[in-house]
Amino acid sequence: MEGLTGYIATGIVTFSVGLLLKSFEARPKVVFWQPHYALFEIQNPRTNVQSDSISIQNIGRKTAENLEIVFKAKPDNFKFSPPVAFAEETSPNGEFIVKIASLGPKEFLTLQILSHITQPRIEAIRSSAGRVEAMPFRMQRKVPRWAEVIGGFLMLVGFGFTFYWLARAVIFVSHNIGIG
């Protein structure tokens, strides 16, 4: 019976390590956020001008291939910052698609849109790795470097104390139930 237990334990450990390694595998992860939107009502001539921007970033560790930004209709004016090579395409159902060949790890770009006739409506952003997720975004004040270092140090000390007391609790419980 001991031999069978060893084989089962080996299988479980091997499977667990395999899952753990799979979770650390390099892969692309593309996110987007909308840092800017403004609508201007111009009186003479009477018209509305809308300004939008959408930032897209690959926060993964592998290059994202075949990035597509799908609009309901073609925006009046748009440009990328920093400039990037792209291709335009119209789908059979009239959607306007902007295609970008790749977006490297940690690389980001911003799509600037200026509209006065057609409202820009993004239907989807996707890559070969799947649908791009919207990332929660908020502007935050930049703190000085010394404050970041002190905050990081205090978090590290907190994690250390937490780990220490959890280990002490496990040892205490194991001694009281007769394991250790």
| Angstrom distance (rounded) from CA 57 to CA 82 | 12
The residue-averaged pLDDT of 23-50 equals 86
Residue 1 has a pLDDT of 47
The residues, ordered by sequence, that sit 6+ positions from 94 with a Cβ below 8 Å of its Cβ are 73
Residue 11 has a pLDDT of 84
3 pLDDT tier (thresholds 50, 70, 90): low
CA atoms within 13 A on the CB side of 114: 3
| Angstrom distance (rounded) from CA 155 to CA 116 | 49
Q: Model's pTM, two decimal places?
A: 0.69
pLDDT of 159 higher than 90: yes
Angle at 132 between CA 66 and CA 18, to 5 degrees: 90
pLDDT in tens, 111-143: 999 988 888 888 999 998 888 988 888 888 899
Q: What percent of the chain has pLDDT over 90?
A: 48
| Angstrom distance (rounded) from CA 170 to CA 153 | 26
* Rg, the chain, Cα only: 26
pLDDT in tens, 5-33: 778 878 888 988 888 888 888 888 899 99
Residue 180 has a pLDDT of 63
The residues, ordered by sequence, that sit 6+ positions from 30 with a Cβ below 8 Å of its Cβ are 56, 57, 58, 59, 60, 64, 67, 103, 125, 127, 129, 132, 133
Residue 2 has a pLDDT of 64
Structure tokens at 108: 């980001």
pLDDT of 83 higher than 90: yes
Q: Where are the domains of the chain?
A: 30-134, 145-175
In CATH, the number for domain 30-134 is 2.60.40.1510
